[in-house]
């Protein structure tokens, strides 16, 4: 998964020969699971057709404020387009469009949307060598950057005129990589390493039976996805679960038993900045595991259990600068038990959820949590999707790291 996954991209195309590259640009954004809407200046249609771009983006292409053929058609609202986007990309950005942007000229839908946009704006200049070097163009480029817009520098190469030099629009793959890297560099967990445990553990009774619990791993996977989306390099240690997560920032380690999770957690803990242990680890395991399937020989079966290693407490005992977060799933005296666990295991925060709350706990898509920090300060949240809960938890952690 790319940092562009789920992002709303507003691609604005002005009238340069490099407009032909925008078909591939749209395709790359769609391939990374972004949503794309396209604005074209009327003259840019001479270089690439709206039909091509609408087919690739699966959205209508916007060019004029309204349709001259249909006087009853609703106008294209430039304000709404600007508010819709997570970022706007103007590519190619010709000398003409750059000058108008820099000076506030507003004579087409692209420029009106640019002036209304509240999101980050990237622009990829494209023009001939002498135009690119002209003082007025240099002035436009500088003014736009002073306004807070982000330039994707032109490259050197063969130009439409046949000259060779600077002014060639960056290639679509390089534009996408530039935006990804820029977005990642501004994320709050950029440069942080995060360890997350998720799911249940299975403790073998014999080769076919085990002791387990109802944990689905949904909360831990939501935390891993959100931490990665915030720029962190995530090590996700997961017990047996059907959950899937594909993200370039997530390294998944699959384990089965509490002992395997203990070993994996200790292997990676020393190199992380944040550890969030959301897995539902078995507290006990069979003392003796049968090497063959146990046959049903009587009406009762006695299995002697022995405690598993306490992963959370063991990490709390050795932590140095790591921010360590545990989970407490309680059924009674919830706050009292969670605070006791927080202090006994030397945690920086604990996430409490109660099986008494409808919609919280195992195997649901929602959760309702209270986050308690090491100073026993409580923050309670309403019932939300586990994705939203993950955002709340990480927002709290980030705020604590900044204190």
Catalytic residues: 213
Q: What is the tally of helices (H) and strands (E) in the chain? A: 13, 22
Residues sharing a CB contact under 8 Å with residue 398, sequence separation 6 or more, in sequence order: 188, 189, 230
Contact residues for 229 (Cβ-Cβ < 8 A; gap 6+) = 3, 187, 247
Name which of 94, 74, 69, 85 is nearest 17 in CA terms: 94
CB 325 within 8 A of CB 276: yes
Distance CA 272, CA 253 (A): 15
d(CA 194, CA 196): 6
Closest CA to 16 of 59, 46, 38: 46
Distance of CA 377 to the CA centre of its chain: 28
Q: How far apart are CA 276 and CA 270, in angstroms?
A: 14
Structure tokens at 115: 């002036």
Establish whether the linkage from the previous residue to 45 is cis, with ω within 30° of 0.
no
d(CA 176, CA 150): 13
Axis crossing angle, helix 50-57 with helix 22-31, rounded to the nearest 10: 10
Question: Residue 239 has which token pair?
Answer: 């017990």
Degrees (nearest 5) of the Cα angle 82, 36, 186? 70
**Backbone torsion region of residue 359, taken as left when φ is above 0, otherwise alpha when ψ lies between -120 and 50, otherwise beta:** left
Q: Classify strands 323-330 and 274-277 as parallel, antiparallel or unpaired.
A: parallel
For the four alpha carbons of 267, 225, 273 and 185, in that order, the dihedral sign comes to positive
Q: Judging by beta carbons within 10 Å of its beta carbon (0-12, 13-18, 19+), is residue 309 exposed, middle or buried?
A: middle
List all residues 6 or more positions away from 54 whose beta carbon is below 8 Å from its beta carbon. 38, 60, 61
């Amino acid at each position: 998964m790319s940092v562009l996954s789920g992002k709303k991209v507003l691609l604005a195309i002005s009238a340069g020969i490099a407009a032909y590259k925008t078909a591939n640009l749209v395709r790359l954004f769609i391939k990374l699971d972004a949503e794309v809407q396209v604005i074209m200046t009327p003259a840019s249609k001479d270089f690439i057709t709206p039909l091509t771009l609408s087919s690739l983006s699966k959205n209508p292409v916007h060019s004029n404020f309204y349709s001259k053929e249909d006087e009853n058609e609703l106008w294209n609202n430039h304000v709404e387009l600007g508010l819709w986007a997570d970022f706007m990309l103007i590519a190619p950005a010709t000398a003409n469009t750059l000058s108008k942007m820099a000076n506030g000229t507003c004579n087409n839908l692209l420029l009106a949307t640019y002036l209304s946009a509240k999101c980050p704006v990237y622009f990829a200049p494209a023009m001939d060598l002498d135009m690119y070097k002209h003082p007025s163009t240099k002035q436009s480029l500088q003014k736009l950057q002073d306004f807070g817009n982000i330039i994707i520098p032109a490259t050197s190469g063969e130009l439409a005129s046949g000259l060779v030099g600077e002014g060639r629009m960056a290639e679509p793959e390089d534009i996408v990589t530039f935006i990804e890297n820029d977005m990642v560099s501004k994320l709050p967990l950029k440069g942080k390493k995060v360890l997350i445990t998720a799911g249940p553990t299975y403790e073998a009774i014999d080769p076919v039976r085990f002791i387990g619990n109802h944990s689905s791993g949904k909360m831990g996977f939501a935390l891993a996805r959100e931490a990665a989306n915030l720029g962190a390099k995530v090590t996700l240690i997961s017990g047996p679960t059907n959950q899937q997560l594909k993200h370039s920032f997530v390294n998944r380690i699959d384990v089965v038993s509490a002992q395997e999770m203990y070993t994996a957690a200790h292997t990676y803990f020393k190199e992380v900045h944040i550890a969030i242990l959301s897995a539902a680890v078995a507290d006990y395991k069979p003392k003796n595991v049968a090497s063959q399937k146990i046959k049903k020989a009587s009406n009762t079966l006695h299995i002697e259990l022995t405690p598993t290693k306490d992963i959370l407490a063991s990490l709390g005992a050795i932590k140095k600068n790591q921010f360590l977060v545990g989970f407490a799933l309680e059924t009674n005296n919830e706050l009292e038990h969670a605070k006791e666990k927080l202090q006994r295991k030397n945690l920086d925060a604990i996430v409490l959820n109660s099986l008494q709350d409808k919609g919280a706990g195992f195997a649901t898509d929602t959760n309702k949590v209270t986050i308690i920090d090491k100073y026993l300060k409580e923050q309670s949240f309403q019932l939300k999707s586990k994705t939203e809960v993950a955002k709340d938890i990480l927002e709290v952690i980030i705020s604590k790291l900044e204190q």
